[in-house]
Structure 1
Amino acid sequence: MVTGTYVDPKTSKVTLQSFYDDWSQRQLWATSTRANFESMMKDCSFRDIEVGKLRRSHVEAWVKSMEGRLAPGTIRTRIGNLRTLVRGAIVDRVMTADPSLGVRLPRLRRTQAAMRIPSPEQVGGILEAAEEWFRPFVALTAFAGLRIGEVAGVQAGDIAFLKRTLQVTRQVQNEPGELVVKAPTHGSERPVPLPDDLVALLSKHVADVGVHGEAGWLMPGRPPNPDSLSWHFGKTLERAGVTGYTPHDMRHFYASGLIAAGCDVVTVQRALGHASASTTLRVYSHLWADAEDRTRSAAATLMRSARPSADSVRTERA
């Protein structure tokens, strides 16, 4: 009681599931976040144990049971959600310590090994194979870096053709039983500069194919269904003779192009709509030249600038 860590033994007899049922109702979550927490609790092997009796061994056994049937990233997400829940219980003076601390988690694949980036030739083939109405989807993922839900949310009024800019102001998400139009996630609402060829492609689409509904949706649907767009992308890959890529890989293609062109971290962050530059670095740091490459390049430039010209050498010899 002196240190402020006292927990009433009666309070600690509540089960993890019982505390979650009460605590979760007070959280301001997006539907997808709530679904992730619900999945975590359904799978949790110690949800019916009193929180005062939870031990690190319970968490270790659960992690072991998930290994092999779930991807390492999914396991890490579930343990992260568990820790959020436990922190809530500690703040509410229901628990005294986090039993997940120190638990070893499965290693993730290195980003550069897991990331698949299509080549320019492959992207060109995919764009060529796309049906006329579907080409804006391919182009906006590959040359503007939009996410699937963001492309689904594009309306004609979002495109400033003269300014060559697209304003990302909404996204479409599949939620249980319905399509939901909502604001982009934190940091994702942004203006995206468009290359001239993409502006021309979008202008031709609006003129020849048209838009949909009073809102002027660029893709079919009111609103468009992201799952349907993803399915059509798969069929487009088949026609192009390309396999193994997703619409998100086209976003990686866009990011890699910006980095190769010399764009700095903040520029790439803003173009992609990441919440912070640290997110951009975590995902794409391997694509930037490292310190040794920059040092070597700078030294080479210095050496070339200091090298005497052939004329000056002949003059000195004469």
Structure 2
Amino acid sequence: MEFYSLLLRLSPAKQRLVRELVWNLAQLETLTIPADHDARLEYTAYVDGWLTSLVARRFAPETLRRYSRQVHHLLKANPHPTQAVLESALAAEISAGRTAGTVSRMLEAFRSFYSYLAERGLISTNAAAKIPKPRDYAVSRQPATQLQVDAVFKSAKTLKHQVQLMLFVDCGLRVRELAFARISKIDIEARLISVMGKGSKPRSVPMSSVTAEIVSSHIQDIRSLGYTGDWLFPGRDPSKATNPDAIRTFFYHLCDRAGVKRFSPHQLRHYFATATLSAGASLKAISSILGHARTSTTVNTYWHIIEQGEVSNQHAQFSPLQQQMKGAGHSETLGE
């Protein structure tokens, strides 16, 4: 009976030991790895070990859930994914209109999993290593247009959905941050809402007086209905927060009702960022509001879609030479 038939009779743990032994021996050139080694590897048997290694490296719970979901989905569709399969999976996400960030995070999951397998000698070729970075794909983060924003606001008939839209547009929240917002973390008088961002990092985000007022009305509204919990947007089970997917689904319903092409609620976050930066807001302040760990992330994500005219206006207003000339009472240009 051939080697792999015998191997499959062993428990998953013993299979891993045998595969590692085979690979280590091959590294010593005592035998040759079968050409179809990677194609016959039971990838799913190593997912738990990979995730456990990420836990030990203190990956954020949300990142672990996302990595697990993406890799399990990949292996369910194709148990023995090659580089071509990985590229097809990424291309499918791009065709579906996913943002560069979404595709990038998916590739990060694939790379992490394949690196884990390669480091342990379980595969001879890292199929994810040579795939181009997602930024090489023609996918850009586009903010919602003013027309789209106006349309969805008009189609939001309930106070709850008006509050959600205002927190997206006025505070630049992510969908998950909105879904798990807590009443106890909102200071109406100070006009601040504290949310849990990526990597379980809390941050306080300012609200406009209009948003603070409508948030207060929403809280009073759900309290009047007998809700005593802490979730700003309780789910069908009041003890739990609303599901982020439920927010996305209803948002698409608002787009359909408004008669505009569907766009994601995350594009309202982009709208907030580009609108505030275009108006001359401090890059450092907006980066803090968005919850970016580095200001460079804000620059790389949004600066290229700010109107060049705004950049020119900012230069004309704040150029040190222009300021010096104003201080000296000169209005003439150089060379005159």
Q: CA deviation at 1:108?
A: 1.8
Q: Distance in 2 between matches of 1:76 and 1:67?
A: 9
- Render the CA deviation track for 1:73-92: whole Å, top value 9, x for unaligned: 57665544333223223433
Q: CA deviation at 1:161?
A: 1.2
Q: CA deviation at 1:104?
A: 4.9
* 1:92 aligned residue (104, 117, 120): 120
Q: Which residues in structure 2 correspond to 1:6-17 (within 5 Å)?
A: 7-9=24-26, 15=41, 17=43
TM-score, L = length of structure 1:
0.69
Match of 2:72 in 1: 38
- 8 Å contact kept, 2:176–2:244: yes
TM-score, L = length of structure 2:
0.66
Q: Distance in 1 between matches of 2:271 and 2:85?
A: 37
* 1:269 aligned residue (282, 287, 297): 287
* 1:147 aligned residue (159, 174, 181): 174
Query: How many aligned positions are there?
Result: 277
Q: Which amino acid aligns with 1:196?
A: S
* 1:129 aligned residue (155, 158, 183): 155
- 8 Å contact kept, 2:195–2:204: yes
Match of 1:172 in 2: none
Alpha carbons of 1:220 and 1:301: their partners in 2 closer, same or farther (altered >3 Å)?
Answer: same
Q: CA deviation at 1:249?
A: 1.5
Query: Is 1:108 the counterpart of 2:137 in the alignment?
Result: yes
* 1:26 aligned residue (52, 55, 60): 52
* 1:213 aligned residue (227, 230, 234): 227
Structural RMSD (CA): 3.8
SS in 2 for 1:210: helix
SS in 1 for 2:198: coil
Q: CA deviation at 1:116?
A: 3.5
Alpha carbons of 1:254 and 1:201: their partners in 2 closer, same or farther (altered >3 Å)?
Answer: same
Q: Which residues in structure 2 correspond to 1:158-173 (within 5 Å)?
A: 158-169=185-196
Percent identical residues:
21
SS in 2 for 1:186: helix
Q: Which residues in structure 2 correspond to 1:181-196 (within 5 Å)?
A: 184-186=197-199, 188-196=201-209
- 8 Å contact kept, 1:7–1:96: no
SS in 1 for 2:261: coil
Q: Structure 1 residues 250-259 or 219-228, which shifts more?
A: 219-228
- Render the CA deviation track for 1:168-191: whole Å, top value 9, x for unaligned: 14xxxxxxxxxxxxxx42165210
Match of 2:263 in 1: 245
Q: Which amino acid aligns with 1:91?
A: E
- 8 Å contact kept, 1:186–1:275: no
Alpha carbons of 1:280 and 1:41: their partners in 2 closer, same or farther (altered >3 Å)?
Answer: farther
- Render the CA deviation track for 1:77-127: whole Å, top value 9, x for unaligned: 55443332232234335567645444457742252xx513221x6534533
Alpha carbons of 1:214 and 1:281: their partners in 2 closer, same or farther (altered >3 Å)?
Answer: same
Q: CA deviation at 1:208?
A: 4.0
- 8 Å contact kept, 1:188–1:274: no
- Render the CA deviation track for 1:226-280: whole Å, top value 9, x for unaligned: 2333333233334444433321111111111221232333322221123433332
Q: Which amino acid aligns with 2:195?
A: V
Q: Distance in 2 between matches of 1:218 and 1:75?
A: 30
Q: Structure 1 residues 76-85 or 33-42, which shifts more?
A: 76-85
- 8 Å contact kept, 1:141–1:247: yes
SS in 1 for 2:144: coil
Alpha carbons of 1:11 and 1:117: their partners in 2 closer, same or farther (altered >3 Å)?
Answer: farther
Q: Larger relative contact order (C-alpha < 8 A, sep ≥ 6)? A: 1
Q: Distance in 2 between matches of 1:81 and 1:233?
A: 28
Q: Which amino acid aligns with 2:145?
A: P
Q: Distance in 2 between matches of 1:237 and 1:95?
A: 46
Q: CA deviation at 1:24?
A: 2.7
